[in-house]
Amino acid sequence: MPQRIIPRVNGPRVRIRTLILGGAFFATIWYLLQGLKLGDVSLESVRLEKHMNSGPLSHPYKFVKSSVDWGKLTPKYPPEKPFTPLPPAVSSRRIPKLPRVQHQFGPETGEFHQKRHNRRVAVRQLAVKSWNAYRTYAWKKDALLPLSGAGRDQFSGWAATLVDSLDTLWIMGMRDEFDEAIAAVAEIDFGKSTTPNVNIFETNIRYLGGLLAAYDLSKREILLQKAIELGDLIYAGFDTKNRMPVDNILLGPIKAGEGLQVEPQVVSASPGTLSLEMARLSQLTGNPKYYSAISRITDLFHAGQNQTALPGLFPMWVSMSKGDVISGNTFTLAGCVDSLYEYFPKMHFLFSGAEPKYLALTRNFLSAAKKYLLFRPFVPQNDDILMAGNRNVDIQTNNPYPIDPETEHLACFIGGTYALAGRLLSSPEDVSVGAKLTRGCVYAYKSFPTGIMPERLNMAYKSHLPKGFTTAKDARYILRPEAIESVFYMWRITGEQEWQEAAWDMFKAVERGTRTEKGAASVVDVTVQPGDIEREDYMESFWIAETLKYFYLVFSPPDIISLDKYVLNTEAHPFLRPAV
């Protein structure tokens, strides 16, 4: 930036003005320093923002075009035109402004500020260690093997951990690492894959979500270019007879212009979790085709929501080939369905309420889940907590069986979703439900000897059963983020101190349980004593992308990734909401 030349002007008015401005300057500095002593949140935010703001590159990079231009392929089944336009991203009399989501935080005391700062530093240190291990032993691989010191590909070989972690590097002020990672992203060839098929769900949430969020934060143009390449590949997954997406994109037939065949059945989260990323890509590019593609999926779920065996909820398995989201007798909020529900209020939020279908989908699912899937377990101290269970429906009579009190770590996202939706819908009751659900997962963490909740467990909920847990069907901890995700939302939405304390207890347990010399490793059995922990040779990409990011944000100033400015996808990638 060129230096400004200020002409020299003599005279008493200038000197007096200089004295006044100088005094004001020093007074401001004194005030800010006092604020820092007292733990002023806004000043610390400014310092963190300086780390997050765009600046000169420390690693040069050059865009490398993928070997296949997915956007230029001629589809076998062309989409109908005109495309469905994006909803307007502005408020109006027809579209009232949404309520504030995040708690209005005030100044901190010095003691509280220092404690929070120290905890954030501890989280960042673990993230740096994990990233350095990935960079050393698994660079450009999808995942790190932290015990053997090697890498592994599982999601097409496009460096899943690297792309998934981009926004975490940026948020934590790891500027050199971020720029080095972008240089590697520039060389990814989305025309080639280590497997003949590409999973549309994982590609969307980890890769496309990671690229879009990193672009929203840094405005590095190359990230948007790569996001468009990948978005065009995902869009090619809609080249089917009924323009519904496949679960796995077969690259050979697409390249040959043969189109794709939709699988007979897929888990409902697969098509239901394409909306947020594709809509954001349309917002950023101005190209409506991505949103138009997913809007047909939304229409299908919206039309069928109240026709299922448990009205308001969707079965675990759906058929995109038949356009059937109604049939099915297994219902859950956990794996296979989770992010379908998560995206209803988040799409409502991204569009600032301009598409009423998402509001209806949100309200109906919240009400139905309370009626059919949430239960209060019997625990020794009779804590006022909730858990999310499962329900099957009798195919012959269409009557639901009693609730199955099995839950999963994956289901722990639901507390944060209830709290977010409760704020958006001005429903204190749903915020309260979110708090009870989150306390349920915190309770599960505290209850096991390692301080970590297992992957899958059962709890007692009938009065004739002993109080507490009945099984730990899957005793692993595979670095999942869902519990700390809901703790993060509860902290940012309510401002209640219990959530930061819960987060710190969880972090200490997770750090201790997963610790290795080379990053962090999954835990084989969380039901053993801490000294008996065994670890698996695996570190998922969401460890850095989600779990550590949520811990870090709990202990960061609340205007870093404010919940009123950003919508986080199911992989914790923050998308900037269009200005309202």
The Cα–Cα gap between 573 and 212 comes to 8
The Cα–Cα gap between 299 and 394 comes to 27
Q: What pLDDT shows up at residue 57?
A: 63
Q: What pLDDT shows up at residue 29?
A: 40
Could you tell me the residue ranges of all domains in the chain?
Answer: 57-102+121-576
Q: What pLDDT shows up at residue 28?
A: 40
What is this structure's pTM?
0.90
User: Residue 570, annotated ligand binder?
Assistant: yes
The Cα–Cα gap between 478 and 471 comes to 18
Q: What pLDDT shows up at residue 59?
A: 67
CA 416 to each of CA 93, 423, 489: distance values in angstroms, whole numbers, following the listed order? 30, 11, 5
Work out the angle at residue 282's Cα, subtended by the Cα atoms of residues 281 and 284, and round it to the nearest 5 degrees: 65
Given the structure tokens 């592994």, which residue do they identify?
152
Nearest to 482 by CA among 494, 493, 492, 490: 490
Q: The tokens of 282 are what?
A: 């349309």
The Cα–Cα gap between 134 and 165 comes to 11
Residue 419, burial from CB neighbour count under 10 angstroms (0-12, 13-18, 19+): buried
Nearest to 170 by CA among 55, 61, 255, 66: 55
Residue 436: DSSP 8-state:
H
The Cα–Cα gap between 273 and 338 comes to 9
- Indicate the length of the chain as a whole number: 580
Can the peptide bond before residue 380 be classed as cis, meaning omega within 30 degrees of 0?
no
Residue ranges of alpha helices (H) inside 241-351 are 251-255, 269-272, 275-285, 289-304, 338-350
Per-residue pLDDT tens digits for 397-411:
999 999 999 999 999
The Cα–Cα gap between 575 and 580 comes to 14
Query: What is the phi-psi region of residue 328: left when phi exceeds 0, alpha when psi lies from -120 to 50, beta otherwise?
Result: left
Q: What pLDDT shows up at residue 37?
A: 36
151 has which bridge partners?
144
Q: What pLDDT shows up at residue 250?
A: 97
Taking domain 57-102+121-576, whether its CATH number is 1.50.10.10 is answered by: yes
- Phi and psi angles of residue 26, each rounded to the nearest 5 degrees, phi first: -65, -35
319 has which bridge partners?
324
Nearest to 442 by CA among 499, 378, 496, 521: 499
Spans of the chain, pLDDT less than 70: 1-59, 89-95, 463-467, 580
User: Which positions are annotated as active-site residues?
Assistant: 202, 338, 455, 482
Sign of the alpha-carbon dihedral angle for 84, 85, 90, 94: negative
